[in-house]
């Protein structure tokens, strides 16, 4: 496993969680990284992406203002801070390493990502 997402769990609505994505084989040290989620019975949904150096970020409208993506290149980690969580945020969350260093115009598309991590489950109770 190259990428490993962690930090999921059960939280009440309005609460916060911080997800982490560890890169054991340095697959994304010079690549953009994205976060996605997939709820039961739904398609995988793009959430956020960050460029290789952290200089650019992009968010889906559904999480803009609530979620923040960041990265620490020194330890090869990417994070997703999630605030004001809602029950509809319940899903398995995945991190993925993009094929490019910068955020291309189609960075929301799954095909832009080469490596995917195992997901972490986030459950938001009402």
Kindly report, residue by residue over 29-55, the tens digit of the pLDDT. Answer: 899 999 999 999 999 999 999 999 999
Distance separating alpha carbons of residues 85 and 12, to the nearest angstrom: 8
List the beta bridge partners of residue 17.
82
Distance separating alpha carbons of residues 22 and 8, to the nearest angstrom: 14
- Chain-centroid distance, C-alpha 10: 17
Neighbours of 54 (CB within 10 A): 15
Do the Cβ atoms of 17 and 85 come closer than 8 Å? yes
Q: Which pLDDT band, with edges at 50, 70 and 90, does 85 fall under?
A: very high
- Look at residue 1 and tell me whether its pLDDT is greater than 80: no
For the ranges 1-5, 19-23, 39-43, 62-66, which has the lowest average pLDDT?
Answer: 1-5
Do the Cβ atoms of 7 and 123 come closer than 8 Å? no
Distance separating alpha carbons of residues 89 and 92, to the nearest angstrom: 9
Q: Which two tokens stand for residue 97?
A: 């390493």
């Amino acid at each position: 496993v190259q990428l490993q997402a962690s930090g999921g769990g059960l939280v009440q609505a309005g609460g916060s969680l911080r997800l982490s994505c560890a890169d054991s084989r340095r697959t994304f040290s010079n690549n953009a990284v994205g976060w996605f989620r997939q709820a039961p019975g739904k398609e995988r949904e793009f959430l956020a992406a960050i460029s290789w150096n952290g200089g650019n970020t992009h968010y889906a409208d559904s999480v803009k203002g609530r979620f923040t993506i960041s990265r620490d290149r020194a330890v090869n980690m990417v994070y997703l801070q999630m605030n004001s969580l809602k029950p509809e945020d319940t899903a398995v969350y995945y991190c993925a390493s993009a094929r490019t260093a910068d955020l291309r115009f189609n960075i929301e598309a799954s095909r832009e990502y080469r490596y995917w991590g195992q997901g972490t489950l986030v459950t938001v109770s009402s």
